[in-house]
Amino acid sequence: MSHESHTKDAGQHHIDAFLEMLSAERGAARNTLDAYQRDLKDFAGFLASRDKDVAGAQTMDVRDYLESLSTQGLSASTAARRLSAIRQFHGFLYTDGIRTDDPCGAIEGPRRARPLPKTLSVAEVDALLAAARLVEDGRSQEESVRAYKRARLVCLMEVLYATGLRVSELVGLPLSAAKGDGRFLTIVGKGGRERLVPLSEAARLAIDEYLPLRVARLGDTVSPWLFPSRGRQGHLTRHRFAQLLKDLSISAKLDAGRVSPHTLRHAFASHLLANGADLRAVQQMLGHADISTTQIYTHVLDGRLKALVNEHHPLAKKDSA
């Protein structure tokens, strides 16, 4: 028997023992055992090509294997799954005294790419805002009621797009937030942290148009909320606003599945960054405690930097000539 065949047999013996343990002690299902078998067989094959035994793998061997997976174009999630199988296998070998060390101890798993946030284009947001100004509530007979609901919806939309508030912050705005000079909103966010968010001219006008209609609608009723409701919370609910937004997206001839309060928050951040805003400033306006949360938008910055180089760098102009 050749050395390579002996290596394969020894490796498979250890893999079989590991799978037997998974079945007997952890009650692993057949599909789970098959998945571990495939992943470890692939790793063992990689090592055998280097004339090495899977049970004797070193840290560099595991790193080289992960690098080979990346070179093959396999996803980070696939690499992470295979690394998990290798970790558990070597943990078993260590526990059973077959090895005195664990080659996976110093290895970090492949970073899975965070999904890019769903967002809307400037044109799509403009379509939503235009539709809000034309919306009609067919259930309301009185024009005053329709005017109030239309002004409230326009105000909600303009404030959300101007500030990037979380939907809970938007619907729970106190009436006092609309007082003062109107240039900023004071928001109490997660953990009771306060932040100042500037208002656009369009948002200030929307508030100014909405407030008199709010007073006329409520009469003598006193409510501390900017967007009051007869419900238990006393203000418009997140669920109700999401429903209004879905209806509005249909009126604007947009895919309702792509439109939500959160996609408008993402649109606010993306559009600011695309037009030159600083990432730290956007972090503060969004109310993110950590800049790493705001960095999901760096794809926007990458695109802006590429456009900047292509437009202004002399070599880029020379190449395009």
Length in residues, the chain: 321
For residues 143 and 253, what is the distance between their CA atoms, to the nearest angstrom? 25
Instruction: Give whole-number Cα distances, 204 to 26, 154, 240, in Å.
Output: 62, 11, 23
For residues 182 and 178, what is the distance between their CA atoms, to the nearest angstrom? 7
Name the strand (E) or helix (H) holding 185.
Answer: strand 184-188
For residues 159 and 166, what is the distance between their CA atoms, to the nearest angstrom? 11
For the record, the structure tokens of 203 come out as 């948002």
In the block, residue with structure tokens 């970090």: 108
Instruction: Give whole-number Cα distances, 234 to 24, 32, 146, 223, in Å.
Output: 57, 51, 20, 8
For 241, counting Cβ atoms within 10 Å of its Cβ (0-12 exposed, 13-18 middle, 19+ buried), the class is buried
Angle at 179 between CA 169 and CA 261, to 5 degrees: 25
| Residues tagged active-site | 166, 190, 262, 265, 288, 297
For residues 83 and 63, what is the distance between their CA atoms, to the nearest angstrom? 10
In DSSP terms, 300 is beta-bridged to none
DSSP states of 225-282 as a string? BSSB-SSTTSB--HHHHHHHHHHHHHHTT--GGG--HHHHHHHHHHHHHHTT--HHHH
Sign of the C-alpha dihedral computed for residues 67, 68, 71 and 76 taken in this order:
negative
